[in-house]
Amino acid sequence: MNLHAPTPESIERAADLLRRGELVAFPTETVYGLGADATNRDAVARIFAAKGRPADHPVIVHLAAADALPQWARAVPDAARRLAAAFWPGPLTLILPRGPAVEGIVTGGQDSVGLRVPAHPVAQALLAGFARRGGAGIAAPSANRFGRISPTTAAHVATDLGDAVAMILDGGACALGIESTIVAFDDDGPMLLRPGSLGIDALTRVLGRAPRSADASAPRASGTLTAHYAPHTRTQLIAAASLLSEVRQRLERDEDPAVLARGVARPGDFAGTWIGAPSDPPGYAHELYANLRRLDAARADEILIEALPNDDAWLALRDRLARAAAGSDDDRD
Ligand code: TXA
Ligand code: MG
């Protein structure tokens, strides 16, 4: 098994492997990343092969600190600078004009590069060890197969990618549980490409106004494809008020739904898989991907998910659930 506790020795070995062009999966505060040396084209190509990800999808480069920005971005708008100062290290990714030395495979051929400074101590220690070996940035998408549920534990990574990675650093369950918030910039200012662990209210506070939401002309982001973060089992969102009656209808048809509820309590006579999720957004996010994996593993006829409240605090979670429902299918290969 290539799963390792993040001791100083194993982190040094992981940094070594990265420098030699191998893949290392590591914890961040959001989800686990599948890392490769961002300056090594062959290593980054291995990420795409391991994930089964199309080559035109860019990957985020993880940096030790914001002072590395000039190496990667040829311009940093003032709003980006303020966001970096306020939220790095943390769950924020900035899309900036690509610097001349950035490999095309990292940017998916686009003229921009995604940059993030992660807060997780293991990610930081890995970046430090990598830097001591002359490394600059670690390219890392979420460590899951393309289109599937993101990993929030080392075991999730092992299940999805197992032998494709040289080493998995096991940092336990990710504290936040959903991916970073992605912000891009154009002549009209900041634009939200992907809602995520950093809330709109926090962005708004620093920017002085809410970022626009991305339109169709925005840069491509695979996390923004409609079908993403998806279980194999067919998945539907159901309003809280009709969840119980929808479940009853299925039981009467002798079907076996698996349920992710939040406010609605499990009926006494329900024998299948019923997960009661935490009712606050941080708690819900922390468990979300593990819950989706459990629901999928139940091999039920269908997954029913209680729809979430409509306010900003739930924005990123509504986004992930909508994509999970859009991307689910009946094949289990
Ligand atoms: O929390 C996170 O962001 C995690 C951890 C590991 O850092 N990473 C992550 O990476 O979610 P990934 O590749 O699964 O999702 C990153 C998204 C993708 O949809 C990608 O297309 C988009 O960011 N992205 C990266 N660089 C971009 C760029 N230059 N322009 C537009 N989108 C970009
Ligand atoms: Mg991903």
Whose atoms come closest to the Cα of 144: which ligand?
2
Using a CB cutoff of 5 Å, list residues around ligand 2, an ion. 142
Q: Is the separation of the CB atoms in 221 and 204 below 8 Å?
A: no
Among 182, 183, 217, say which to mutate for ligand 1: greatest number of ligand atoms within 8 Å of CB: 182
Per-residue pLDDT of the chain (333 residues; tens, 9 = 90+): 699 999 999 999 999 999 999 999 999 999 999 999 999 999 999 999 999 999 899 999 999 999 999 999 999 999 999 999 999 999 999 999 999 999 999 999 999 999 999 999 999 999 999 999 999 999 999 999 998 899 999 999 999 998 899 999 999 999 999 999 999 999 899 999 999 999 999 999 999 999 998 765 555 555 555 666 789 999 999 999 999 999 999 999 999 999 999 999 999 999 999 999 999 999 999 999 999 999 999 999 999 999 999 999 999 999 999 999 987 654 333
Residue nearest to atom 23 of ligand 1 (CA): 221
Q: Is the separation of the CB atoms in 194 and 141 below 8 Å?
A: no
**128/89 Cα distance (integer angstroms):** 14
DSSP-assigned letters across all residues of 184-215? EEETTEEEEEE--SS-HHHHHHHHSSPPEEP-
* Sign, CA torsion 175/207/63/141: positive
Which amino acid, one-letter code, is at 229? Y
Q: Is 142 in the pocket of ligand 1 (CB under 6 A)?
A: yes
CA–CA distance from 329 to each of 24, 36, 232 (Å)?
30, 31, 5
CA–CA distance from 180 to each of 33, 208, 265, 266, 282 (Å)?
11, 20, 31, 32, 13
Whose atoms come closest to the Cα of 90: which ligand?
1
pLDDT of residue 103: 96
What is the Å distance from ligand 2's center to 150 Cα? 6
pLDDT of residue 198: 98
**15/13 Cα distance (integer angstroms):** 5
Q: Which two tokens stand for residue 277?
A: 């999720």
**98/100 Cα distance (integer angstroms):** 7
Q: Is the separation of the CB atoms in 207 and 82 below 8 Å?
A: yes
pLDDT of residue 230: 83
pLDDT of residue 332: 34
Residues in the chain: 333
How big is the chain by its Cα radius of gyration, in Å? Answer: 20
Its pTM stands at: 0.95
